[in-house]
Structures are given as C-alpha cells and as structure tokens.
A and B are shown apart, each in its own frame.
Chain A
Amino acid sequence: MNPNFDDIGETIGAPLLENGSAKINCNDVNVFYDDKHAIRKVSVDIGKNEVTAFIGPSGCGKSTFLRCINRMNDTITSCRVTGEVNIDNINIYNNELDVVLLRARVGMVFQKPNPFPKSIYENVAYGPKIHGLAQNKAELDEIVYTSLEKAGLLEEVKDRINQPGTGLSGGQQQRLCIARAIAVHPEVILMDEPCSALDPIATAKIEELIDELKQNYTIIIVTHSMQQAARVSQRTAFFHLGYLVECDDTKRIFTTPDHKLTQDYITGRYG
C-alpha cells in the first residue's frame, strides 16, 4: 500500500458531535464486497436538520457508505456490513429492525433520475400507498400535492399531473424523485450525486430546494463538485480509499483542512 495512507487509521477533524445533537451515529463501520474491503473503520456523526456532504475521489466508497444508512446494501448479495449505524440511538443493523420501515424513514435520491413509468401523481403516491399513509383519496391528494409543492415542482406540473413522469425534463424528474422520497415523511434524505445529470439551472434549483428541506430533514449529499459541497452543506466528510480522512465544518474543510490529502483534493491537486 502507498505509505502515504498508512497514517489514516484515525479520522481527524471533528467527526463526532458532542451534546448528542447527532441524528445518525456510525460506529466502526466496515463494508466488504466479497473480499474487497470497501469501507474501513468509519465512525462519524451526522447532525440533525443539517446538510452533510460526502466528498472524495471516485471509487473511495461514498455511495457504499451512503447505502449503509438505509440498508440498500442488503440488495447486493455480495455485500457485507459490520459495525453499528445508530439512528436516534437505535442500531439499524439489529435483527429486529424492519428494513421496509427503515427505508420509509430514510429516503434516497439517486444519481440518475429514476421515476417509475407511471403518471406524475402515481409516482408520488407510490410510497404513501404501500405504507398506508392515507385513509382516503382526499388525504392521498393532500400528501401528493404538498410533496410536489415542497419539491418545488407543483407549479410546473399541476396541469399534467396524470401524464407520465418519464415525460418530464431531467431536472424535473429529479425533483419528482425528491417529491417521491418526501411523500413518505422520512426523517433523513440520502442523495447520491443528485445533480450530476443536470444542467446548471436545474442544479441551482435542486440546491435551493436542499437548503429549504434541511429545516425539516437531515440530509446527506454525495457530490463531486467542491462548489456544491461548499454551497449547500454545513459539514463535510472527506473519504479516501475507504477511509474517512477528515470530517468537520464545511467552512473549515474548505479553508484550513488538517490533512494534506484533503487539502490536495479540494484544491484540485489530487492525484
């Protein structure tokens, strides 16, 4: 192994929050794909009602770690997770936990917009329907319209709410996916590079939206854009080769990082 990385064992900065303001607490998390050790001994706290950005070079394990938090890794047969991920002090990897309910609490938005081949309305109504969140049509309507409203999409689609969601533009589709995620009233929203397939204007809209959503939700966003991380997040975690190298207030990470690797990465001198 490259000798430079030997000293990474311990994360530096402020990975753990004091005074129990953490929504999510990850403790010594390791992830393996068969024999490949993809996440190594990561311990980190995610603050409540704030935006945490995960940054790091491609293949360093950001998505893998993100998928630990709603146990989406369970759908990959070769994947094995050890350690604890506590949400509100309950370990989500305990045996009694109902994964289906967990995923309703921890929503996820993907890199590529993936609306279902259904109408816009049905896309948003999907989650509430399977979780039985609405007693009748009126309640369902209410949920769908407020979710679209919160996702900042209602104005643009209210005349075509029964047309296919796949017919929207990329940026609209991504906001539809966000609406779909918040329709089940999650507490946490995970976003894996939500803007990488979008143009600057659509990106700006989503960033604005993230900023609003953080009042009610705890948000984690994976991004390759330093500017985006700086703009939307309060805290930033830098990953490298499966290690969490440094985690701290975004401002500090982008002005005076402690680790040389972080410094190199954010100034674009990485590699």
Chain B
Amino acid sequence: MQTFILTFVILFLTLIGFILGKRRSVKISNGGVNKLHSLPGYYGLYVAMWCSIPAVIFLALWLSFENSIITTLIVSDLPDEMKDLPPDRMSLIVNDIKNLAEGNIVSKEPDEALKKAALHYSRLKEVAYASLFTLIMIISTVFGIFTYRKIQSNFRARNKVEKIMEIILIASSTVAIFTTIGIVLSVLFESIRFFRQIPVFEFLLGLKWSPQMAIRPDQVGASGSFGIIPLVTGTMLISFIAMVVAVPIGLMSAIYMSEYASYRTRAIVKPLLEILAGIPTVVYGFFAALTVAPFIRDTGALVGLDVSSESALAAGLVMGVMIIPFVSSLSDDVINAVPQSMRDGSYAIGATQSETIIRVLLQAALPGIVGSVLLAVSRAIGETMIVVMAAGLTANLTGNPFEAVTTFTVQIVTLLIGDQEFDSPKTLAAFALGLILFIMTLCLNIVALYVVRKYREQYE
C-alpha cells in the first residue's frame, strides 16, 4: 500500500515536471518554437525523466534494504538473554514481533519484552516510511528543478533523451542477463554440493538410477544410486521418437504451406498448426496417458507384443505432435526466405515444382531447417508434463520403445515433490540433473543459432 502511494507520488511529480519543462521551453522560444534545438515535448520528457528515474532507483534500493536494517535494529534492542538464541529461534521471535505489530496471530502469548519490541518495530516502520516519503519528494524535486533550470534554447534535449533511453534499454537487458546468470550460478553451486557427496564419475557414468535413500539410519531400503545413464537413454529415446514424428510431418507441411498452398489456405492452415503449440502440455499429457498409451498397449496385445501401459512410444508420439508446429513454422519461414529468383531460375530450366523444391529450395534452406530441428530437439529434451504422465517413473536402461522409461525432467520433478531435506543428496541431485539438462540444451541452442546465422549470411 505504501509503495503504491509512493509510486503514485513519483508519477505525479513526473507529470508536473513534464508540463513545466515543456512550458518553459515554449516560453524561452518566445513563440518561435523552431528556434529551439528540440521539440518542446523533448524538454518536458527530459525533466520528467530526471524527476522519476533517480527517485525510482532510490525507492528500489530503500525497499530492498529496509527490512534487514529494521530487523537488525530491533534485535539489538532485545533483552540480552534473547539475543543469544540460535538463528532459527531468533527468526521465529522476529516473526512474532512483526505479527504482533501488525495485529496478526502470534505463535505464543506475548511477554513484556516482545510487546516492547513490537512497539519499537512499528515506531521504526513509521519513521522509515516518513523519511522515505520526504527523501523521495526531495530527490524528485531537486533533480527536477536542477534540470528545469538547464533548459535553454540551444540545450540538446532530444539527444539527452536519446541517451537516457539507451541507458534504460541497456539496464533492462542487463536485468535479464543477470537473472539468467543468477539461476545458472545457483544451480551450479547446489550441484557442487551434490558432487561433494556423490562423485562426478559415478553420476555421469553410473548405470543405475534409484535416488531413494534411507532417511533414518535404522531404515531398511535403498541406499540410493545416482547413475544418469538410464535417464540419458530414456531422454534420447523419447526425443528420438518425437523427432521421427515431428520432422517429416513438420517439414512436409512447411513445404506445402510455402510452395503449394494459396495465400488463402496458408492464412488458415498456418495459424491452425500454431494452435497445436498453444495447447497446454498437461492436456497433451493426459491425452498421451489416457488415450494413446492404452491404445498402443491394446494394439500391442493384439499382435502379441508385451507393451507396458506406460511406454516411451506413447510419450514420444504425442510429444512429436506437440513439436510439429515448431518445425513447420520455422522451416516455413526459412523456405519462404529463399529468394524467388532461385525458383525462377529452376523453373526456367524446365524443372517441375517438386524437383525445384527438393534440389534447390531444400538445399538452399537446409541450414535453416537444421537449425529449426535442433531447436525442436532441445524443446523435446526439456519437455516434462507429457513424459511424467505417459512414460512412467521407472529408470529402465533400455532402447525398447514399448517399455516405461524416464527422463531428466521427470526425475527432477519427482525428486523435489513432497517434503524434503534440502541438503540430502536426493534433493541436491535435482540440481545436478538440472545442470546437465541446461548444458545439453544450451549446446543444442548454440549450434542451432550458429547454423541459422550462417544461413542468413548466405543471402544478405
């Protein structure tokens, strides 16, 4: 609520800055607006930017530090015997103080010290808010006035605004990059913890995956083995089946759409195909589990094959259908991007349409098609829901598509579901799996992007 008000205040000041800045520039120009270096709106924008950006940055910084500072302050004010409590008890007490101050339910009957601390806490909060409010007002106005006074007829507001825009854009992309780096690092660190307990070689080359560990020392049960080879084969088997479905169908529909279909058909068929990509994967998942898998099992039974009710085949087939639009849409784009002059050249020699497609277009578009297929593969590897529902959880080391297999993503899910200790190898294994998965898809994407870029260069 308070943040909301503060945002509103900043917006209000920004608006005022804009209006005043614009007005001043018009006034300075004495009616001859074209004597100004930039259009009046730019002067307004310039002032507005200085009114808002520093204040917003300050607000963000304040909010991210406020909590920990106030907590430190109240903790230091607690009676001595409470100060020496272990950290987890301490955080409980701090929580109680906050709840008490805000009128929420407290874990036990509050004693005198707690009440005092709560009072202290709410007072601190008030002071903090008041000072934040004032500081924001001051920052916004000071920067506003300062820039307002800089406005002169030869002041290059347009260029300055351009510069600020650039900085804002850079900042946004930096946020995205740092988030990615953050995620990767956290996965990496957890994986390192895992590899302290389970050797890397055992993990990478082990043939048995069964992460169940005894929780109590006296418990009978598995001691846990973490070999990812069954997961690798499972993932590859399912992805392979998916690609066997998706690549031919996707490619052929791409060829149909880009070469044979009329404009009208294309305008209908392409979005329809792309709807496939919009279906939530859970829906595909239960379609695979409830329709496709039993169908395959029954058909298998008819011809005397022993198909388990959860099979790699079912998951792979449905996943293939899901991936069709990825392949077709991207391939369609790259085939379309082959210059018309290639087709003309081929037709003019007397090639038929299919000869032209096979010998010229596909060859010219090949790198792009390879790129789109690789992107589709990395999509298949990362897919979770369908596999969870249709392929089972058993880590079979097999190449038989009629058996149940499991994949990286499925295992990550099962490892993290339920109550977990966050430092047992079982949970940490999820991070290690995530790391391997990430490395795999990253490599695929890099290769794919490289290939696609090569292809672009060819025609530019």
Binding site for B on A (CB under 8 A): 70, 72, 75, 77, 100-104, 107-108, 110, 112, 114-118, 126-127, 130-131, 166, 177, 180-181, 184
Q: Is there contact, CB below 8 Å, between B348 and A107?
A: yes
Interchain pairs with CB closer than 8 A, number: 67
Q: Is there contact, CB below 8 Å, between A116 and B344?
A: no
Q: Is there contact, CB below 8 Å, between B351 and A72?
A: no
Q: In the assembled complex, how far is the CB of residue A198 from the closest CB belonging to chain B, in whole angstroms?
A: 16
> With contacts A110-B341, A114-B341, A114-B342 known, is A180 near B349, CB below 8 A?
yes
Contact of B350 among A75, A115, A118, A184 (CB under 8 A): A184
The answer to whether the Cβ of B352 comes within 8 Å of any Cβ in the partner chain is yes
| Alpha-carbon distance A100/B351, docked complex (angstroms) | 6
Q: Is there contact, CB below 8 Å, between B363 and A103?
A: no
Q: Is there contact, CB below 8 Å, between A116 and B364?
A: yes
- Interface residues of A, dominant DSSP: helix
Residues from chain B with a CB closer than 8 A to the CB of A177 are 345
- Residues from 396 to 455 in B contacting A, C-beta threshold 8 Å: none
| Alpha-carbon distance A127/B348, docked complex (angstroms) | 10
> With contacts A72-B344, A110-B341, A116-B360 known, is A127 near B349, CB below 8 A?
yes
- Residues from 333 to 353 in B contacting A, C-beta threshold 8 Å: 339, 341-352
- Residues from 171 to 208 in B contacting A, C-beta threshold 8 Å: none
The answer to whether the Cβ of B262 comes within 8 Å of any Cβ in the partner chain is yes
Q: Is there contact, CB below 8 Å, between A75 and B344?
A: yes
Q: Is there contact, CB below 8 Å, between B359 and A126?
A: yes
The answer to whether the Cβ of B355 comes within 8 Å of any Cβ in the partner chain is yes
Residues from chain A with a CB closer than 8 A to the CB of B343 are 75
Contact of B349 among A75, A112, A117, A126 (CB under 8 A): A126
The answer to whether the Cβ of B458 comes within 8 Å of any Cβ in the partner chain is yes
Q: In the assembled complex, how far is the CB of residue A251 from the closest CB belonging to chain B, in whole angstroms?
A: 31
Q: Is there contact, CB below 8 Å, between A102 and B350?
A: yes
Q: In the assembled complex, how far is the CB of residue B345 from the closest CB belonging to chain A, in whole angstroms?
A: 4
Q: Is there contact, CB below 8 Å, between B346 and A116?
A: yes
Band of interface residues on B: 20 to 34
Residues from chain B with a CB closer than 8 A to the CB of A75 are 343-344, 347
Contact of A101 among B350, B355, B363, B364 (CB under 8 A): B350
| Alpha-carbon distance A166/B351, docked complex (angstroms) | 20
Residues from chain A with a CB closer than 8 A to the CB of B339 are 114
User: 21 A-B contacts, Cβ less than 8 Å apart?
Assistant: A72-B344, A75-B344, A77-B262, A101-B350, A103-B349, A107-B348, A107-B349, A108-B348, A114-B344, A116-B342, A116-B345, A116-B363, A116-B364, A126-B346, A127-B349, A130-B350, A130-B351, A130-B359, A131-B350, A181-B348, A181-B349
6 more contacts with CB within 8 A, not counting A103-B347, A126-B351, A130-B349, are: A103-B350, A104-B349, A108-B344, A110-B341, A114-B342, A127-B350
Residues from chain A with a CB closer than 8 A to the CB of B345 are 110, 114-116, 177, 180
Q: In the assembled complex, how far is the CB of residue A129 from the closest CB belonging to chain B, in whole angstroms?
A: 8
Residues from chain B with a CB closer than 8 A to the CB of A110 are 341, 344-345, 348
Residues from chain B with a CB closer than 8 A to the CB of A101 are 350
Q: In the assembled complex, how far is the CB of residue A102 from the closest CB belonging to chain B, in whole angstroms?
A: 7
Contact of B341 among A72, A100, A112, A180 (CB under 8 A): A112
Q: In the assembled complex, how far is the CB of residue B259 from the closest CB belonging to chain A, in whole angstroms?
A: 11
Q: Is there contact, CB below 8 Å, between A72 and B364?
A: no
Q: Is there contact, CB below 8 Å, between A184 and B458?
A: no
| Alpha-carbon distance A126/B73, docked complex (angstroms) | 82
How does the 8 Å CB contact mask read for B354-376 relative to A, with 1 for contact and 0 for none? 01000110011000000000000
Closest to B348 in A: A108
Q: Is there contact, CB below 8 Å, between B458 and A117?
A: yes
Q: In the assembled complex, how far is the CB of residue B338 from the closest CB belonging to chain A, in whole angstroms?
A: 9
Closest to A74 in B: B347
Q: Is there contact, CB below 8 Å, between B355 and A130?
A: yes
7 nearest A-B pairs in the assembled complex, by CB-CB distance = A104-B350, A103-B350, A114-B341, A108-B348, A127-B349, A114-B345, A100-B350
Count chain B CB atoms within 10 A of each CB in A103, A116, A131 and give the residue with the most: A116
Q: In the assembled complex, how far is the CB of residue A150 from the closest CB belonging to chain B, in whole angstroms?
A: 16
| Alpha-carbon distance A270/B443, docked complex (angstroms) | 62
Q: In the assembled complex, how far is the CB of residue A196 from the closest CB belonging to chain B, in whole angstroms?
A: 14
Residues from chain A with a CB closer than 8 A to the CB of B458 are 117, 166
Q: In the assembled complex, how far is the CB of residue A126 from the closest CB belonging to chain B, in whole angstroms?
A: 6
Q: Is there contact, CB below 8 Å, between B341 and A184?
A: no
Q: In the assembled complex, how far is the CB of residue B157 from the closest CB belonging to chain A, in whole angstroms?
A: 45
Q: In the assembled complex, how far is the CB of residue B341 from the closest CB belonging to chain A, in whole angstroms?
A: 4
Residues from chain A with a CB closer than 8 A to the CB of B349 are 103-104, 107, 126-127, 130, 180-181, 184
Closest to B356 in A: A130
Residues from chain B with a CB closer than 8 A to the CB of A114 are 339, 341-342, 344-345
Residues from chain B with a CB closer than 8 A to the CB of A112 are 341
Q: In the assembled complex, how far is the CB of residue A137 from the closest CB belonging to chain B, in whole angstroms?
A: 18
Residues from chain B with a CB closer than 8 A to the CB of A103 are 347-350
How does the 8 Å CB contact mask read for B75-118 relative to A, with 1 for contact and 0 for none? 00000000000000000000000000000000000000000000
